[in-house]
Amino acid sequence: MSPFHDLTRRLEEEARRLGFDLVRVVKPERLAEEGARLCEWLGRGHVGQMGWLARTFEKRADPSRVLSGVRAIVCLAVNYHHEDLCKGAYRVSKYAQGEDYHRVLSDRLERLTGWLERETPGERTLACVDTGPIMEKAWAQRAGLGWMGKHTILINPELGSWVFLAVLLTTAELEADGEPLADQCRTCTLCIEACPSGAIVEPYVLDARKCISYLTIEHRGPVAPAMEPLMDGWIFGCDVCQEVCPWNRNAPTTGESRFLEAPIEWSDEKLDSLTEHDFTQIFGRSAVRRARWEGFQRDLRIARALR
């Protein structure tokens, strides 16, 4: 048993107490294979307008460029699965129907970071959720929180894929207790067949430019006319590949009530009468503000035309 076993066990207990459903520690190193795949993905243009992914490539491939002296990576996941709060023809992905997960997870991460800093004076700890230059799925996969499905989302055998990921990078020494899990997609191709816009161009490879999630959240400017009819009513994000995945059939419901606190009644009437002022007021604490008013309006218009 390593001398860091006790600290690691207590850290993981604290993480669970704070509401993280999954937690495991891995040793940091350069992500040789995953970095090479990211490089190829960028080279094929699948990244679309997300230039920030390419600009931070070196950091994404090497966590020591994000936190010098990093000695452990704590991989975390939180279940957000819940019944659809969207009632009408406009569709919003589950992850964005309640309060913004960045806020919910950041609150928990801040407390976990504080705990670790108190336990390891002099060491440095950095928390990331989504926006940091870290390949969260690659680390979570290495830690055994799940495997990467063919739709390119991490699947946990008990929770399914409705989980948010986060990491702590720390210079403190911890015991690595994560082990990768076997890929359990096997011969299934349901997500690839169900994707309305053909965005999963090969198993495990997503062309973001064709992905409705990208088009509704990240893409700025008009959507290519050929893509518009394929957007299937989605106005923010898309859940189709997760909805059809057999590993999500028995997904348990989240224990976090903030994911169920809708900022607006998700009905067609409410969305049809939204003004720019309402958008700013209503989505201040919601992930939806990422689309900006221009993007949201564009997505409503496309979905309305398909109704």
Query: Which spans of this chain sit near ligand B12 (rule: CB under 6 A)?
Result: 34, 37-38, 41, 50, 53, 93, 95, 129-130, 134-138, 148, 151-154, 161, 163-166, 204-206, 208, 211, 213-214, 217-218, 237-239, 241
Q: Are 212 and 229 contacting, i.e. CB atoms less than 8 angstroms apart? A: no
Our finding on whether 271 is near ligand SF4 (CB under 6 A) is: no
- The rounded distance, in Å, linking the Cα atoms of 4 and 262 is 42
Which of ligand B12, ligand SF4, none has residue 188 at its interface (CB below 5 to 8 Å by kind)?
ligand SF4
Our finding on whether 238 is near ligand SF4 (CB under 6 A) is: yes
Shortest CB 252 distance to ligand B12, Å: 15
Backbone dihedral angles phi then psi of residue 210, each to the nearest 5 degrees: -100, -5
Nearest to 295 by CA among 225, 223, 206: 223
Tell me whether residue 130 is one of the annotated catalytic residues. yes
- x-or-dash pattern for ligand SF4, window 117-156, by CB under 6 A? --------------------------------xxx-----
Question: 22 or 61: whose CB is closer to ligand SF4?
Answer: 22
List Cα–Cα distances, 199 to 113, 152, 160, 187, in angstroms. 37, 11, 21, 19
Our finding on whether 246 is near ligand SF4 (CB under 6 A) is: yes
Question: 47 or 185: whose CB is closer to ligand SF4?
Answer: 185
Shortest CB 85 distance to ligand B12, Å: 14
Which of ligand SF4, ligand B12, none has residue 278 at its interface (CB below 5 to 8 Å by kind)?
none
Shortest CB 131 distance to ligand B12, Å: 7
For the CA atoms of 24, 29, 33, 38, what is the dihedral angle to 10 degrees? 90
Binds ligand SF4 by CB under 6 A, chosen from 191, 227, 235, 303: 191
Shortest CB 7 distance to ligand B12, Å: 25
Q: Are 92 and 176 contacting, i.e. CB atoms less than 8 angstroms apart? A: no
Binds ligand SF4 by CB under 6 A, chosen from 190, 260, 262, 274: 190
Which residues lie across from 22 on neighbouring strands?
77
Our finding on whether 219 is near ligand SF4 (CB under 6 A) is: no
Q: Are 190 and 153 contacting, i.e. CB atoms less than 8 angstroms apart? A: no
Question: 126 or 194: whose CB is closer to ligand SF4?
Answer: 194
> Annotated catalytic residue: which of 6, 62, 84, 130?
130
Shortest CB 244 distance to ligand SF4, Å: 6
For the CA atoms of 139, 140, 144, 149, what is the dihedral angle to 10 degrees? -110
Nearest to 10 by CA among 142, 122, 174, 179: 174
Helix axes 101-119, 5-17, angle to 10 degrees: 150
Question: Could you count the other beta carbons within 10 Å of the beta carbon of residue 45?
Answer: 10
Q: Are 141 and 37 contacting, i.e. CB atoms less than 8 angstroms apart? A: no
Query: Annotated active-site positions, please?
Result: 130
Query: Which stretches of the chain bind ligand SF4, using CB under 6 A?
Result: 149-151, 185, 188-191, 195, 197, 199-200, 206, 211-213, 238, 240-241, 244-247
